[in-house]
Amino acid sequence: MILAAAEAEFTEAGVRKANVDTVAARAGVSRSTLYRRFANKEELLIAVAQRVYERVMRELDTAVAGLSPQDAVVEAFVAGATLIEQDNLVRRLLVDGDVKMLTAQAPAMFIELAVQRVASTLRRAGAQMPDADLHDVVEIHVRLVMSFMEVPPSDAGRWAPDRVRATVGKFIAPMVW
């Protein structure tokens, strides 16, 4: 209940403006109960980030199930770009300056966990490249998505799913074999 309440508060108020007292009230617990579980706002944010990460990874796993490694890369990009564009909390956790000021752990944690999970998914999809190479390629992919979120393209149409599919299929998916 606390994490759901915190997720709602971080989404609606933003990380900097989120209020721990509001989180406790939303969760139906006292402030002291909240602080027994989470020493501070940063710990609460990290726990929420982990929860959001798991949700995002499940959504990406579903989007690429049964696809070849190259097709999985394409659909993961489309799903990832859509999630980041449509989910305010995901976007805040990955690229919001407020989060970076509060903790550098959330984006770094997400990158490494995402790289491990996506590499594992691509391996299950049939990727044959050496583990170290697969890890490096996936990290490039994850960082590309984040880079586009931090500095959006001058042409917003580049985020249209068909254009993402075409671009990723042509330039990025061939990096995985």
Domain extent listing, the chain:
47-175
Q: What is the mean pLDDT of residues 129-155?
A: 88
| pLDDT band, residue 110 (cuts 50/70/90) | confident
144 touches 175 (CB < 8 A): no
pLDDT (tens digit, 9 = 90+) per residue, 12-71? 998 889 999 999 999 999 999 999 999 999 899 989 988 988 898 898 899 999 999 999
Give the Cα separation of 170 and 104 in Å (integer).
Answer: 33
pLDDT value of residue 100: 61
Give the Cα separation of 69 and 88 in Å (integer).
Answer: 29
Q: Which of 104-118, 138-152, 155-169 has the highest mean pLDDT?
A: 155-169
| Predicted TM-score (pTM) of this structure | 0.80
Residue 155's CB is within 10 A of a number of other CB atoms, namely: 9
Of the candidates 104, 103, 81, 93, the residue with the CA atom closest to the CA atom of residue 14 = 93
Residue 140 contacts by C-beta under 8 Å, 6 or more apart in sequence? 175
Q: How far is CA 21 from CA 34, 45, 144, in A?
A: 9, 14, 37
